[in-house]
Structure 1
Amino acid sequence: MTPRRIAFVGPTLPAHLRPANGFAYRPPVRHGDLFDLCLRPGDQVLIIDGVYQHFAPIRHKEILAQLARGVHVAGTASLGALRAAELAGFGMQGLGHVYREAHAGRLSADADVAVLHADDSAGARRLTEAMVCVRHALDELLRAGELDPGQAARLEGAAARLHFTERSATALRHAAGPDRDAVQLLLDHLEDHGDIKSRDARHALDTLAACPVPEPAAPSVGAAEVWTSSYGREWDFEHRPLKPGSTVGARLALACLQLFAVDFPERHRAYALRLAAATTGRTGPAGRLLSAAGFAPATRPYARLARGTEATAHWTADERLLARTFRLPPGRLVYQDLPAEAVAGSTLDELEQRCLRLLLPPAAHTLPTAQRHTLLRQLWQAGSDHDYRLCALERGFRDTAEAARLAGAFDLALIARLLRAPAAAR
């Protein structure tokens, strides 16, 4: 299978400057993107731009997990250069001036490479200047004799006092005071010669494209386990087959049960009780488990979350609360495998056949999300929005959005017809 080449890039290199050299371009990277790509050993990823502040940034463990799988990961120019410097000892490749500055310890803050940009059709148009680009341009002008040391120092200080979201050309001119001619020289230099981040990005793309994709490194012993994370475990569960050679994934098989098994809340309660007991070291009623986990009694302030539904009317309030709030450490996932409680006596062969009967045919279109929610509410006999949310939680979904997303893989039109059919005809 041909290795893929993928670059995460935004304002550092506008769309019209990106070479057509075998790389598939994606927006600035954020946490979870590398797992979502389903990368394989031998694939090559170049991280140039990445988001932070308003979105979770790319985590080190996510990169390390890909390196452990034999994916070649490189970084340059911006956030990619910082991550490459931080992970150079673990196999991430760094390229360019910004990477060398970071690796040498002269650059460490995300804000030094950050810019404000517009998310538009022009490819995340840059609105401000990065501090690392200002410093590098001033050094070049100083070496060329076009600025004296005093001017360069004053301009660097003026730029550094501006937050990265405010360091526009207009703000730089205003902050320069008597050095307005010098700041215009700086801005002209950046325009005419390109800033160092853009130069690094183009150089890295050309360098990597000119070389064969490296052979995947042999995974180090235990590396995949060492660098696992909740996102990694979720990715693995999403892509693991139900059994060797099966076309049905383990996560999809669990979703089939969660969505359509009438008694799945009972199975989920048994699963939550077992693992909560293992975590707290307590056994017995759910109330004792909740107390050991630090929960207050279910009457307040969790009364609405402990309210009964059609499927849980005979449960205690504590059992409802435990089942609906259960999470695996560190607190994001509910399931990362297909436990015995979920299968509840069925064989994997039987579960596989059930899923295959209900899966959407390959050429068919899934129902719109709103219709999926409507069908699930009907299927679970949820009379209100709040009851619908409770039904999703007691079936082990993180929320109704996750339930509707997973429902998109199934033939919901067929299931709707079965719901309307008389009981004798089913």
Structure 2
Amino acid sequence: MTTHVFAGPTIGADTITRRLPGAVVHPPVRHGDLLALGLTPGDRVAIIDGVFFRTGAIRHKEILHLLQQGVPVWGASSMGALRAAELDSFGMRGVGRVYRLYSSGVVVGDDEVAVLHADAEDGYRQMSEALVSIRLALRRARVDGVFGPDEEHRLVVTAKRLPFGDRTWRRLVEQATTEGLDPGVGEATLGYVRRCRLNAKHADAELLLDQLGRDRCTPPPAAAGTMPMTSFLLRWRRSAATVEVDGVPVSDLAALTAVQLFGADYPALHRRIVLRELAGLPVDADPDELPSAALRRARDRGLIGPESEPLPPGFGHWLNPAERELSPAEAGLLALVRSFRWAPNVRVVEPLVEELAGTEAWDTAQRLVARAVRCNEKLAQLRATFNPHYIADTKLRAWVGRRWGVAEPAFALLDRGFGGQADLRARGAMFAPLDSLEPVAEFGVTAARG
């Protein structure tokens, strides 16, 4: 059994391993981290801190997915307390005062636990105070007679108005004094918090670690209901790194993107698999039967009429002028493949990855991902503002157009399984700098399995 703990800046790695020997300590959790863990039965996850703002926060469905796999997920202190309060009815376990304040509705804002902190290189050094910790410290100070209810209320209201990165005790007292707080009360408040060193989030984190140490054999709770598998969760799973290549974590979705961009004959593979999925046929179906089977399914669903009739006008959106002159059958197949989309409960990435995994093309693609990541890291060191996703759309279109030998790649993108320009930017932009500096050789795809 392995316990994975996501923390920083609330509590340090040394404290975690001292209070919970054997725990695997991770940085603050972010979107995709849980799906990349490769958990096995008996493992546990504890979320203390998590990122947000400039990086995707951990999604609720990622936690629900773990719970449905029988993996207990605990939360406390910060992001963990927030998510536990939101998901405790589904089986996530919350610990501590911050969790109770959220679950009871006393506090509701995400910014209650937000703090400004340094990067990993500086040990996630905390540079502001969480609003919820300020609330609890002020209540303790009022109970201890440092000031009265009116002063407590004034300080809380002032703290709420401050941006989360400005919430330090010194800044809070200065602002409250400017707004009318007695300077003596302000100095007394600063002296009290320096003397008592109150940190509700840290205390909750220690409480969670102690609880995990005592409950090593507690079975996971049964998750309430069944969460349907959606295209979004499937895509998140495929976006999580599954292998390391030259020290670079590589996800299945990134490798698939490399195949889509640089696989010389990828459109043929994409067409075959999409038609197979549309027709609802098994993996070993005769490829020669797929076009007619897909067209029959389209007719059965009323998407197209009988074979002798022209295509519905809307199908022209997916065809260029020359393609509209093709036979209704061939034009219909082009439009069906190009309009196939990620949608809830539709498998698109899965069959493609299953087809490619373990082939020479897949190995080549994974190495390309690692090369692209290393290239972008070097460029970022040379220019701090570098980001491949800032490349202009016109340049991205021109890049893939040159690679694929087309003047306007709108339809070529669809033939290669991209959802359009936005999808190219999201998944493909990371490869553009590498291909510019070290041109990538195209490789074969459809013959990979013989």
| TM-score, structure 2 normalization | 0.64
Aligned-residue offset at 1:312: 12
Whether contact under 8 Å (2:13, 2:25) holds in the other structure is no
- Matching of residue 283 in structure 1 with residue 303 in structure 2: yes
Determine the C-alpha separation between the residues in 2 that align with 1:58 and 1:187: 35
Equivalent residue in structure 2 for 1:396, among 417, 420, 425: 417
Instruction: Give the Å deviation of 1:52.
Output: 3.1
- Pair 1:9-2:23 in alignment: no
Deviation at 1:32, TM superposition (A): 2.7
Which residue in the other structure is 1:179 paired with?
A: 182
Contact kept in structure 2, 1:287 and 1:319, CA below 8 Å? no
Query: Pairwise mapping of residues 10-409 of structure 1 onto structure 2 (< 5 A)?
Result: 10-15=8-13, 17-20=15-18, 21-177=21-177, 178-192=181-195, 193-217=197-221, 223=225, 225-234=226-235, 259=263, 261=266, 263-267=268-272, 270=275, 281-284=301-304, 288=312, 290=314, 298=317, 323-324=337-338, 326-330=340-344, 335-338=348-351, 355-356=358-359, 360=363, 368-369=371-372, 382-383=404-405, 387=409, 391=412, 393-397=414-418, 399=423, 402=427
For residue 202 of structure 2, what is the amino acid of its counterpart? S
Opposite residue 173 of structure 2, the aligned amino acid is R
TM-aligned CA distance change 1:78 to 1:262, over 3 Å: closer
Quick one: which amino acid aligns to residue 6 of structure 1? Answer: H
Kindly tell me the number of residue pairs found equivalent between the two proteins.
371
Is residue 114–residue 164 contact of structure 1 (8 Å, CA) maintained in 2? yes
Map Cα deviations across residues 333-354 of structure 1 (whole Å, 9 max, x no partner): 771442xxx79xxxx9xx68x9
Q: 1:189 to 1:14 in 2, by over 3 A?
A: farther
Residues 23 and 269 of structure 1: CA distance in aligned 2, closer, same or farther (over 3 Å): closer
Q: Please state how far the C-alpha of 1:307 moved relative to its aligned partner.
A: 6.2
Taking the aligned partners of 2:93 and 2:236, their CA distance within structure 1 comes to 24
- Structure 2: 5+ residue runs without aligned partners? 241-250, 281-293, 376-398, 432-439, 445-449
**Distance change >3 Å, CA 321–CA 189, structure 1 → 2:** farther
**How far apart are the structure 2 equivalents of 1:175 and 1:255?**
51
Distance, in Å, in 1 between the alignment partners of 2:443 and 2:118 is 48
Counterpart residue number, 1:411: none
Q: Distance in 1 between matches of 2:126 and 2:360?
A: 50
Q: 1:264 to 1:148 in 2, by over 3 A?
A: same
- Deviation of 1:64 (Å): 1.8
Write out per-residue CA displacement over residues 373-421 of structure 1, whole angstroms, 9 at most, x where no aligned residue: xxxx99x95137964x864542225555757999xxxxxxxx96987xx
Residue 90 of structure 1, CA deviation: 2.1
Q: 1:412 corresponds to which residue?
A: none
Query: Cα distance 1:115–1:358, how it changes in 2: closer, same or farther (>3 A)?
Result: closer
Structure 1: state its 5+ residue gaps.
Answer: 240-248, 292-296, 299-304, 372-376, 407-414, 420-425
Relative to structure 1, the CA distance from residue 360 to residue 194 in structure 2 (aligned partners, 3 Å threshold; closer, same or farther) is same
| Alignment partners' CA distance in 1, 2:140 and 2:24 | 33
Compute the displacement of 1:24 (Å): 1.9
CA deviations over 1:240-278 (Å, ceiling 9, x no partner): xxxxxxxxx999998899645562243256358669977
Distance 1:5 1:385 in 2: 53
CA-CA distance at 1:230 after TM superposition: 3.2
Give 1 or 2: higher helix fraction.
2
**TM-score with structure 1 setting the length:** 0.67
The alignment partner of 2:39 has SS state of coil
Say what the alpha-carbon RMSD is for the aligned residues: 4.9
Q: Give the deviation of 1:109 after TM superposition.
A: 1.7
Residues 93 and 282 (structure 1 numbering): CA distance in 2 closer, same or farther, change over 3 Å? Answer: same
Q: Cα gap change, 1:184/1:23 in structure 2, threshold over 3 Å: closer, same or farther?
A: farther
> For residue 84 of structure 1, what is the amino acid of its counterpart?
A
SS at match of 2:5: strand
Asked if structure 2 preserves the Cα contact closer than 8 Å seen for 1:8 and 1:25, the reply is yes
Q: 1:215 deviation in Å?
A: 3.2
C-alpha change, 1:232 and 1:416, in structure 2 (3 Å) is: same
